[in-house]
Amino acid sequence: MALLFLCDGEDADVWSAALRAEIDDLDIRVWPVGVGDPHDIDVALTWQPPRGVLASFPNLKAILSLGAGVEHILRDPELPPGVPVVRLIDPGLKSGMVEFVTMEVLAHHRRVSEYRAQQAAGEWRLLRQTLSRDRRVGILGMGHLGTACGEVLGRFGFPVAGWSRSEKDIPGIESFSGEDGLFALLERTDVLVCLLPLTPETEDILDATTLGALPPGAALINAARGMHVVDDDLINLLDSRHLSGATLDVYREEPLPPHHPFWTHPKIVMYPHAAAWTLPESASPVIADNIRRTRTGQKCIGQVDTRRGY
């Protein structure tokens, strides 16, 4: 039994040390050079696996994502059928995302970009302040991350609502679901946060129709996936001043190509997919637990419904 480490760009030595601190005799094979006999591999830990690679391990029993999203695994047309795919539910990812979303909601709320532009222009001018109870936050995706962000934002006094596939009962957070629920949430939202998984149903969900349903002056924070946003529609709504600003962490193509208009748009704040990292020191115990579960015939924590896509 061996763990396949199939995460191009990640430091295999650091991850190996962190995972061996959890399971001391863990046999780790690093793709592509250190794989050895493919029959030995029973669990794969992966981020953006090249198409077809996972199909080459005949004894694979679980595919663990190194992140919360799993679309990078499910898009493989040769994904071995019947092998469970598992998303990462990690306290470090959760706290990182809560910090990021809170920081950016507060930045839109307190007009940080406008103050920075005034500073650059040497301009001393007070901008109107709004009470948090008058700034409505809407969150698309009330899963592990969306719920945690909503709970913290509620403590600042923002009226928070969330949209999910199923109705939720979370104290202090208004719940919306279904297509009617989506537009009802958008119409009452001043800062929209996207934390949806990328699936065929959610791809391109932030377009002229949905973003246009936000009240004039609303702002967008997309910390989910770039494919949720129709780029030209977002730019048109910012240029027409329907939207006041957007924070983007994720893009249709990453790294964002050098000539993409987002880079220089005055109303866009960009991050290089940095909202929440998977850190070995917090994620290793979670990953180790799922390796043990797989090897003792138990269901992993975070197993996804591959038909639903998350």
**Alpha-carbon distance 112 to 246, whole Å?**
12
Kindly state the smallest distance separating residue 224's Cβ from ligand GLV, in Å.
Answer: 8
Catalytic residue chosen out of the listed positions 29, 87, 225, 228 = 225
**Alpha-carbon distance 299 to 101, whole Å?**
31
Cβ atoms of residues 44 and 97 within 8 Å: no
225 is catalytic: yes
Cβ atoms of residues 59 and 65 within 8 Å: no
Kindly state the smallest distance separating residue 268's Cβ from ligand GLV, in Å.
Answer: 19
- Interface ranges with ligand NAP (CB under 6 A): 67-69, 93, 97, 141-146, 163-166, 195-199, 201-202, 223-225, 249-250, 273, 275-276, 310
Q: Which does 197 bind (CB under 5 to 8 A by kind): ligand GLV, ligand NAP, none?
A: ligand NAP
Residues in the chain: 310
Cα 106 → chain centroid:
19
Kindly state the smallest distance separating residue 62's Cβ from ligand NAP, in Å.
Answer: 17
HEC string of 84-138 equals CEECCCCHHHHHHHHHHHHHHHHHHHCCHHHHHHHHHCCCCCCCCCCCHHHCCEE
Q: How many residues bind ligand GLV (CB under 6 A)?
A: 5
Catalytic residue chosen out of the listed positions 111, 265, 273, 295 = 273
Q: Which is nearer to ligand NAP, 61 or 225 (CB)?
A: 225
Does position 92 interact with ligand GLV (CB under 6 A)? The reply is no
Instruction: Report the b/e string of 53-67 with b at 16+ CB within 10 A.
Output: bbbebeebbbbbbbb
Among 3, 35, 60, 67, binds ligand GLV (CB under 6 A): 67
Output Rg (C-alpha) for the chain, integer angstroms: 21
Kindly state the smallest distance separating residue 87's Cβ from ligand NAP, in Å.
Answer: 6
Contact code string over 257-286 relative to ligand GLV, x by CB under 6 A: ---------------------x--------
Residue that the structure tokens 């934390």 belong to: 195
Kindly state the smallest distance separating residue 46's Cβ from ligand GLV, in Å.
Answer: 12
Among 49, 69, 92, 138, binds ligand GLV (CB under 6 A): 69
Q: Which residues contact 256 (CB under 8 A, 6 or more apart)?
A: 262, 263, 270, 272
265 is catalytic: no
Residue nearest to ligand NAP (CB): 143
- Which helix (H) or strand (E) element contains residue 168? none
Q: Which residues form the interface with ligand GLV (CB under 6 A)? A: 67-69, 93, 278
Active site residues: 225, 273
